[in-house]
Structure 1
Amino acid sequence: MSLLRQSVFLLLLFTQPVWAEVFIVASETSPVLERLAAALKVHTPTEVTVSLFTGGIPGNADDHYFLVGEDVIRAWPEGTAAVAVLTSRSAIEANRSHLVGAVYLEPPLARQYSLVRYMFGDARTSLIYTQDVLPWAWPELSALEEQGVRLVRYQPGQSLNYALKDALRGSDVLLGISDSGVYNPQSIKNILISAYRQNIPLVGPARAYIRAGAIASTYSSLDDIARRMADMLKPGQFQEFSYNPYFSVAFNEQVARSLNVMLPETEMEVVSELKK
């Protein structure tokens, strides 16, 4: 090999871009995290590893860290840039100083209400909330109220049935919110029975409630989350707290038939409309 060719070879060898690694850090591994890592690899050339958090930080300062779960976020050392994923917004807000960015797990209320409007037009809509959602959720709630959604506050010490009765009175749709003080495994059956006795559907508050009996909800799949994570790896995008702009829609066809609600022909049709 001539001296010139050797020089060109060495120049190319040492000027190739070196991609930082990506670590998805959690307190324990799971098939969900492995699928998330596999989905992220489709959208980025970087190496993606699921790592158990034991107090130390894997990799080096040039790597990117996505944290899963409040316990990991709370223990993560400040000063090491990290973004939260697959974690509730309430947990993120409580530990915001440990993060430089986040992809909220929940769907935005504005999108959920857009789904209500798409499915039910100008239907009278009510929403039950507790003080636990304040202060960070209040701007979203206020925006819904300005659009005509009736907000019913579930007071401490008050019976949920009382707030539920108030919310259902004069309403056509109940819009759920990710507020564990209202929607939880102990309360959801009572909420659904009370609503459906009056032929009032529940939209949201998350995909997990579709199987329980909610008629519809938007949500971000693992591929949706991976796409957003890949976006955040681009220059200038890592430090951002936001809802996921990529999402899907789920329906409960059995509930729709019971309530005589006509569902859209395809989920993609709804997603396209909600993105407008």
Structure 2
Amino acid sequence: MNLSRWVRGLITGSAMLLAPLFCLADDGRPVIDLILPVDNAPLREFATQVQTHNRDYDVRQFIQAPPPQAEQGDILVTVSDSLLEVIAGEDYPQKVALYVSETAFLDHKAPGVSAVYSNQPLRRQLALTSAILDQRPARIAVPYLNPYFLENLATAITHYPHLSPKVEAASADRPTEVINRLIQQVDVLLATPEIEIYNADTIRSILLSSYRHRTMVIGPNEGFVTAGALASVVSQPVHYALQLNTILKTAKETGAMPPADYPREFDVAINGSVARSLGLSHLNAELLKKRIQDSLSRSGL
């Protein structure tokens, strides 16, 4: 199950403190206070994954806010952008933000906080694009709002000389105008992980335009692939749970929290119907993943 579906419809307003949804016996293990944005079955499943892959810790669940200071554990772990203010304002020895937007996390500048981003690096999506095309020359459009992603693209695109980027800033008010115009001029639309551009209000227009002009859409996430994008690199809940374990091991060994990073493990999601309509029914997710890994290894990205 994709983690992006778990954090939809986040509760806004004042934080709501609940009793732990479960609490293991006090057996001397360090305590993780896992703060979830909402209480639902998928997030409970994710909490189970966190416990399963972090058995050296006692994982307690709370909704939207940690317990009172006198009852707090050793490690604070939050899930989603909506809890960035919470993690920045709490005084825990160790703090980790999971499934947070890269740009939102960087904007908060929370010192001493480690994180695993919700978005994939553009270099992986570029490697996926190259693998799908089997390194054939292609024109790719990359509309953006935040110049941060333009800088990331500039670093990675040099390793893919067969891909000719057409980059243009989109309007925050009417992003689909630029995107739909670019779709008519290129072979591939590479979507940045900017929800201001790619969201429930814009997805229909963008995908209909891509169908009409037979333009491949790569990214930005599994939700877009389900809706009609061709493919995307994605990370699953278990990947985040395992990476949390790696972060905590590193902190224990070095005495410092590692810097924020992208999810290290990933899969490839493909929309089979869209692939067939584009004459790409041969695409294989595992083979594409292997090609991405090989490409990134060769280029040192």
How far has the Cα of 1:83 moved from its partner? 1.1
Task: Say which SS state the counterpart of residue 182 (structure 1) adopts.
Answer: coil
Q: TM-score with structure 2 length normalisation?
A: 0.76
> What is the aligned counterpart of 2:38 among 15, 28, 34?
28
Q: What is the count of residue pairs matched by the alignment?
A: 256
Unaligned 5+ segments in structure 1 are: 1-16
Alignment-derived partner of residue 9 in structure 1: none
CA distance change for structure 1 residues 134 and 62 in 2, over 3 Å: closer, same or farther?
same
8 Å Cα contact 1:107-1:219 kept in structure 2 = yes
CA distance change for structure 1 residues 128 and 182 in 2, over 3 Å: closer, same or farther?
farther
Of the structure 1 ranges 144-153 and 100-109, higher mean CA displacement relative to structure 2 is found in 144-153
Say whether residues 1:273 and 2:291 are aligned partners.
yes
How far has the Cα of 1:107 moved from its partner? 0.9
Alignment-derived partner of residue 152 in structure 1: 168
How far has the Cα of 1:255 moved from its partner? 0.7
How far has the Cα of 1:251 moved from its partner? 0.7
Alignment-derived partner of residue 114 in structure 1: 127
How far has the Cα of 1:156 moved from its partner? 5.1
Q: Deviations over 1:136-155 (max 9, x none)?
A: x3421222454442212214
> What is the aligned counterpart of 2:86 among 56, 67, 75?
75
Say whether residues 1:127 and 2:146 are aligned partners.
no
Alignment-derived partner of residue 51 in structure 2: 41
> What is the aligned counterpart of 1:229 among 201, 225, 244?
244
Q: Deviations over 1:171-226 (max 9, x none)?
A: 21111111223212121111112122121111111001012100111111111111
> What is the aligned counterpart of 1:213 among 197, 221, 228?
228
Percent of pairs identical after alignment?
A: 21
Q: CA RMSD in A?
A: 2.6
Q: How many Å separate the matches in 1 of 2:173 and 2:60?
A: 46
CA distance change for structure 1 residues 223 and 37 in 2, over 3 Å: closer, same or farther?
same
Alignment-derived partner of residue 218 in structure 2: 203
Q: How many Å separate the matches in 2 of 1:119 and 1:92?
A: 31
Q: Deviations over 1:226-269 (max 9, x none)?
A: 1111111103473320001111111100111111113334x233
How far has the Cα of 1:93 moved from its partner? 2.1
Q: TM-score with structure 1 length normalisation?
A: 0.82
CA distance change for structure 1 residues 103 and 259 in 2, over 3 Å: closer, same or farther?
same
Q: How many Å separate the matches in 2 of 1:58 and 1:106?
A: 32
Alignment-derived partner of residue 5 in structure 1: none
> What is the aligned counterpart of 1:164 among 167, 175, 180?
180
Task: Say which SS state the counterpart of residue 86 (structure 1) adopts.
Answer: strand
Say whether residues 1:140 and 2:159 are aligned partners.
no
8 Å Cα contact 1:74-1:98 kept in structure 2 = no
8 Å Cα contact 1:119-1:263 kept in structure 2 = no
Unaligned 5+ segments in structure 2 are: 1-26, 295-301
Q: Deviations over 1:104-129 (max 9, x none)?
A: 00111100110000111234242333
